[in-house]
Structure 1
């Protein structure tokens, strides 16, 4: 599975954080450094499995019990962002274009 950033989310990475504005809800959020790393990996188009693998590599490579916790937490966090509408399933069909004028 792969997520993509929702089109109505405006974001910027700055000083180890990511700041988000959801135009749909009018809400601002600031992601801490670890959450920002996950957001940036998603923004690169990586799959959820690739984000998990990279995060485990960075933080828990030598401890399998810790790796399982990190993997679960990464998936839960990405699912939470999707639940807020900030991320969308990349394989979801795009909305159909509005009909244009007849030729």
Structure 2
């Protein structure tokens, strides 16, 4: 499955994080540091596993508990973004 930022979303990286505006719903939000990092990885990598892998390398080291937490958090974040129409998931 490939992840893609919705064409209805205008976004930019700011000093406060990533700011998103959904042009169809009027939803505006600024992501925190973690959400911004995940968003940027989705924008550049387009798949869940590379996002999880890169975050795990940056933050978990060899800590398996942290690896599991990162996996859960990434999937929850992406699921929420898909549910809100900000990210789309398509068959590769």
The answer to whether residue 32 in structure 2 is matched with residue 6 in structure 1 is: no
Q: Which runs of 4+ in 1 moved over 4 A?
A: none
The answer to whether residue 56 in structure 2 is matched with residue 56 in structure 1 is: yes
For normalisation by structure 2, the TM-score amounts to 0.92
Match of 2:69 in 1: 69
Question: Unaligned 5+ residue runs, structure 2?
Answer: none
Q: CA RMSD in A?
A: 1.4
In structure 1, C-alpha distance between the alignment counterparts of 2:23 and 2:32, rounded to whole Å: 20
Question: Unaligned 5+ residue runs, structure 1?
Answer: 93-103
The answer to whether residue 44 in structure 2 is matched with residue 44 in structure 1 is: yes
For normalisation by structure 1, the TM-score amounts to 0.83
Do the aligned residues in 2 keep the contact of 1:11 with 1:19 (CA within 8 Å)? yes
In structure 2, C-alpha distance between the alignment counterparts of 1:45 and 1:2, rounded to whole Å: 9
User: What is the CA-CA distance between 1:46 and the residue it aligns to?
Assistant: 3.1
In structure 2, C-alpha distance between the alignment counterparts of 1:88 and 1:52, rounded to whole Å: 17
The total of aligned residue pairs comes to 92
Match of 2:33 in 1: 33
Higher helix share: 2
